[in-house]
Structure 1
Amino acid sequence: MHLSRAKADPRDPAALPRLLLTVLAIVLLWPGLVLTEFKPATLVESRNLDVFARFLAGFWPPDLSSDFLRLLGRATLETLAMATAGLALALLLAVPLSLLCSRALSVSALLTGRPAWLADMLRYPARLLLILLRSIPEIVWALLFVRAVGLGPTAGVLAIAITYSGMLGKVYAEIYESVDQRPARALLQAGSSRLAAFCYGILPTAAQELTSYTLYRWECAVRASVIMGFVGAGGLGQMIDLSIRMFAGGEVVTILLTFLLLVLAADQLSSLLRRRLA
């Protein structure tokens, strides 16, 4: 009798908690919408729609002239070089700092079950440095380096290297600690060095996740390179800035399509490498 009633009851037992969470989210979100003067109704006003339509009409057709495509190709290579060089410099700093921050290779944790307080104190400066590096956006670093080294990709490379070293170092350390620790512990117990324990105990199991995140950060670095071009760091961003200032909508849409192809190529490369490492 009771079973038949339970089956016939159409009420969702989780409906009330979900409703309360939804109401709570709206209550927390509403002050932010009021503070930012968020008014979506202005998007569908006739006057704004007319202005927006005329603005979009200026973006067609794309500029496919040979002179512009030659400049676009050079700027695309400059953007890719900026992102790749910045990420490579970031890895030089991120990998050692991630090893210093990680507890995965702690000998004291292997012997006692938890890291010694002295080891944690020694890791604290490395963690603090990673926080400092990633707390300042790359666009701010780019503004500073443009003043220091002048206009051009060098400022963008240094800005990406500093900010992304903090991001990569933090996530790498977390990846080391999230994988199976038993192979590395067995190597350490057998008298292996920490470097060997990392290379043969942790790196093989973490390689796919490390590769995936590194390629994702490279894709982000390409986007960041475009943004930093607006402050004089060169590349596609600087071309977009100049084209917008000259109201050359055809050039802008060609640059945006090129940037879309770059992101698609980065995504395909990431998928290919993940399949190879699986």
Structure 2
Amino acid sequence: MNPSERDPAARGRLTALLCVLVVLWPLLRLAEFQPAALFDPANLKTIGAFLGTFLPPETGGDFLVLLWGATLDTLAIATAGIAGAWVIAIPLALLLTRSLSVSRLEGGGGWPGRVVRAGARLITLVLRGVPELVWALVFVRIFGLGPAAGVAALTVTYGGMLAKVYAEILESTDQRPVRALLASGAGRLPALTYGLLPTASDELISYTVYRWECAVRASVVMGFVGAGGLGQLMDQSMKMLNGGEASAILMTFLLLVMAADALSRALRRSLA
């Protein structure tokens, strides 16, 4: 190859790739990850026999009624969970964002503002640091089996996630409109409301819609611990070794995720 046609960054990329492989290989060994086990003849036979029970999917009237109800529960869990998370995320994001802190808006500052932000940061870390599946186990003990536990788990976990990302979005938003409004004599709160939030609203809404899409998937997983929806129905079918019902639930879940993804793309496109 002509030296002038060589990629000057090729050596750096190759070095980075080798470093990743050197680090990744011990981690895979530590995790006992063995892809060859999937192609073992005995394992392939077991997998084939298991998948064979999935056909044909269950289409009985009574089961379809249960499936429809579980699908509505899944959508309700995801939507209500995001709505609750939104209520938690807004005040936490306002406290986390330095430019939006109450002390700064009122012209104060110092250690009280730092203490408040540190407390809000700790709360956010606890909320999002514990997986929603663990929160679901906790709330199942409180509310019992059903969608209420799933809604509470999503509200807590996604409230922390939304608060963190909202704060990062607001911190990275252009501050010039706010400064212009302040320079023209507007108060701090009107400058914040009309100068900063309109600029960041598209990104905030886009991320919220994405999190709703993730909540649809998470609500199904939480159903396996009794939080209602398609996951709980799938767990019951698997325990009864009813592959036809399991495949019907799986296809419904895939269609639901596809619909959520299409809706998410449409909303993002309309906001662009």
TM over 0.5: yes
Q: CA deviation at 1:177?
A: 1.4
Distance 1:125 1:110 in 2: 19
- 1:100 is matched with 95
Contact 2:95 2:102 (C-alpha < 8 Å) held by counterparts: no
Contact 2:105 2:189 (C-alpha < 8 Å) held by counterparts: no
Please, which moves more after superposition, 80-89 or 181-190?
181-190
What are the residue-to-residue correspondences of 1:200-211 with 2, within 5 Å? 200-211=194-205
Determine which of 240, 264, 269 is the counterpart of 1:270: 264
Distance 1:73 1:119 in 2: 50
What are the residue-to-residue correspondences of 1:127-206 with 2, within 5 Å? 127-206=121-200
Determine which of 212, 221, 238 is the counterpart of 2:215: 221
Q: CA deviation at 1:122?
A: 2.8
2:100 aligned counterpart, secondary structure: coil
Q: CA deviation at 1:234?
A: 1.0
Q: Cα RMSD over matched residues?
A: 2.3
The question of 1:20 aligning with 2:15 is answered yes
| Cα deviations by residue, 1:156-200 (Å, 9 ceiling, x for unpaired) | 111111111100000001111122111122234445444433331
- 2:53 is matched with 58
TM-score (norm 1): 0.90
- 2:79 is matched with 84
The question of 1:38 aligning with 2:33 is answered yes
Going from structure 1 to structure 2, the CA distance change for 1:13 and 1:63 (only over 3 Å counts) comes to same
1:104 aligned counterpart, secondary structure: helix
Going from structure 1 to structure 2, the CA distance change for 1:197 and 1:254 (only over 3 Å counts) comes to farther
Q: CA deviation at 1:97?
A: 1.0
Distance 1:124 1:33 in 2: 37
Q: Which runs of 5+ in 1 are unaligned?
A: 1-5
- 1:3 is matched with none
Distance 2:186 2:95 in 1: 18
Going from structure 1 to structure 2, the CA distance change for 1:192 and 1:107 (only over 3 Å counts) comes to farther
Going from structure 1 to structure 2, the CA distance change for 1:52 and 1:103 (only over 3 Å counts) comes to same
Q: For residue 148 of structure 2, what is the amino acid of its counterpart?
A: T
Name the count of aligned residue pairs: 271
TM-score (norm 2): 0.91
| Cα deviations by residue, 1:68-118 (Å, 9 ceiling, x for unpaired) | 111101011111111111111111110111011112335887999xx7555
Distance 2:187 2:82 in 1: 28
Q: For residue 212 of structure 2, what is the amino acid of its counterpart?
A: W
Going from structure 1 to structure 2, the CA distance change for 1:185 and 1:178 (only over 3 Å counts) comes to same
Determine which of 48, 67, 70 is the counterpart of 1:72: 67
Q: For residue 179 of structure 1, what is the amino acid of its counterpart?
A: T
Distance 1:95 1:103 in 2: 14
Q: For residue 95 of structure 1, what is the amino acid of its counterpart?
A: I
Determine which of 225, 228, 232 is the counterpart of 1:238: 232
Distance 2:47 2:58 in 1: 21
2:78 aligned counterpart, secondary structure: helix
| Cα deviations by residue, 1:191-242 (Å, 9 ceiling, x for unpaired) | 5444433331122221221111111111111111111111111110100000
**Identity of paired residues, percent?**
59
